[in-house]
């Protein structure tokens, strides 16, 4: 399950990675094209005279000169910074997907052309305002436009690359949120399916006592009412302290004692500090019900059920045993209760849990192991 989720996240982030490298490659290509075009498209009045040696620039003597040589302080820098919100707004409204890439590219090119033209006009105004050596505006706009196009294209490309990564991350979060919601829905459905199962079995046991022992049937109904009250009090909690799980189970055990009478003996072996370990709510009931059905009700003699919990390193083991004949094979005749238990454990803990059913020399054993974690103590431990 975890590996599948990681693969899904990889699939959602790869489109953003591909777009990022495509944008980087396109930016390099545009830089080369801009350099070539700027050399070919320069007007005559801005070119050096024929035969003149190219002017050698002196190395920067101080930090301000170094920054100016890198373009810091240039009007293009400020215009690029001012245009960042515009390009991000376009990227968010028109993403580069299969359905909208044409209007996205067209809109971005329009914004690039508009910003580059505006920057060239402002540069001409700032550089040559009132100067007698000012070149013609039409001639300067060609060079100024070409020089400003690449920075704005880079900003637009960076905006789309960042937006692609953001969208990939959002898709990964949405996919993970959907998987969590589906898992929670399935877990709730399994729990809701399990509770009617034990309720039907309990009502069937009460119906058999109504004519034979009305007093015992009435007491079983009272115990069932207490049990249902505890189930409804749980709310939507997935896990509860083991002591609380045992308190809920106690009502079911009282019902079972009235059903089987003196035939049934129950031993509970859970001590501090294990009784504050977190366990799935209502996880012991189907194990006890299985032991009653296949270990006690399957023969006429007395029977014993054992409920124990122990810590095994960083894991918690929950064990329910019975001394009945059971079935020929461990999984034979096991119904919806154990199937739901397996599904609930898999949904909650994945590969970190195990559920084993096996024959023993004394009867039958059901064992659950899960990661050990404890909760603050709010209730006293349950005594057997």
Q: Mind listing the pLDDT tens digit for each residue in 256-304? A: 887 787 888 999 988 777 878 999 888 898 898 888 887 777 777 788 9
- The closest of 251, 346, 265 to 305, measured between CA atoms, is 265
Residues in the chain with pLDDT values less than 50: 1-13, 53, 328, 332-333, 379-384
The CATH 3.30.565.10 domain(s) of the chain lie at 213-371
pTM value is: 0.51
Q: Helix, strand or coil for residue 78?
A: helix
Is there a contact between 161 and 64 (Cβ–Cβ < 8 Å)? Answer: no
Q: Give the Å distances, CA to CA, from 218 to 103, 204, 230, 292.
A: 75, 13, 19, 21
Q: At 222, is the secondary structure helix, strand, or coil?
A: helix
Amino acid 10: pLDDT: 46
**What pLDDT sits at residue 41?**
53
The whole-number pLDDT of residue 278 equals: 92
Residues 280 and 335: their CA atoms lie apart, in Å, by 19
| Token representation of residue 102 | 């044409």
What's the pLDDT at 46?
A: 52
State residue 235's pLDDT score: 56
Strand partners, 374: 277
Q: Which CATH topology does 213-371 take?
A: Heat Shock Protein 90 (3.30.565)
Residues 6+ apart with CB under 8 A from 17: 168
Any idea what DSSP says for residue 97?
S
pLDDT of residue 138: 79
């Amino acid at each position: 399950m975890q590996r599948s989720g990681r693969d899904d996240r990889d699939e959602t982030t790869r489109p953003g990675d591909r777009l990022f490298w495509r944008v980087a490659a396109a930016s390099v290509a545009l830089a080369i094209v801009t350099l070539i075009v700027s050399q070919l498209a320069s007007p005559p009045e801005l070119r050096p005279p024929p035969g003149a040696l190219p002017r050698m620039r002196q190395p920067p003597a101080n930090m301000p000169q170094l920054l100016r040589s890198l373009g810091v302080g240039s009007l293009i820098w400020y215009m690029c910074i001012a245009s960042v919100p515009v390009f991000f707004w376009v990227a968010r409204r028109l993403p580069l997907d299969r359905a909208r890439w044409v209007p996205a590219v067209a809109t971005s090119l329009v914004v690039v052309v508009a910003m580059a033209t505006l920057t060239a006009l402002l540069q001409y105004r700032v550089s040559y305002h009132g100067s007698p050596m000012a070149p013609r505006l039409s001639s300067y706009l060609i060079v100024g436009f070409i020089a400003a196009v690449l920075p704005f294209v880079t900003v637009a490309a960076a905006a789309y690359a960042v937006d692609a990564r953001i969208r990939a991350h959002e898709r990964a979060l949405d996919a993970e949120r959907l998987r969590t919601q589906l898992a929670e829905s399935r877990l709730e459905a399994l729990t809701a399916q399990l509770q009617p199962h034990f309720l039907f079995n309990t009502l069937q046991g009460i119906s058999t006592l109504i004519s034979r022992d009305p007093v015992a049937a009435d007491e079983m109904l009272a115990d069932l009412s207490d049990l249902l009250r505890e189930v409804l009090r749980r709310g939507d909690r997935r896990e509860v302290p083991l002591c609380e799980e045992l308190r809920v189970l106690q009502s079911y055990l009282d019902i079972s004692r009235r059903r089987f009478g003196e035939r049934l003996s129950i031993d509970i072996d859970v001590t501090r500090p294990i009784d504050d370990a977190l366990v799935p709510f209502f996880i012991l009931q189907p194990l006890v019900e299985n032991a009653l059905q296949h270990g006690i009700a399957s023969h006429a003699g007395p029977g014993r059920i054992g409920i124990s919990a122990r810590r095994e390193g960083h894991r918690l083991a929950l064990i329910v045993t019975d001394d009945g004949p059971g079935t020929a094979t461990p999984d034979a005749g096991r119904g919806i209760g154990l199937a739901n238990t397996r599904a609930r454990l898999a949904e909650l803990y994945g590969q970190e849990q195990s559920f084993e059913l096996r024959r023993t020399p004394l009867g039958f054993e059901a064992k659950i192991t899960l990661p050990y974690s404890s909760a603050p103590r709010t209730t006293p431990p349950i005594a057997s």
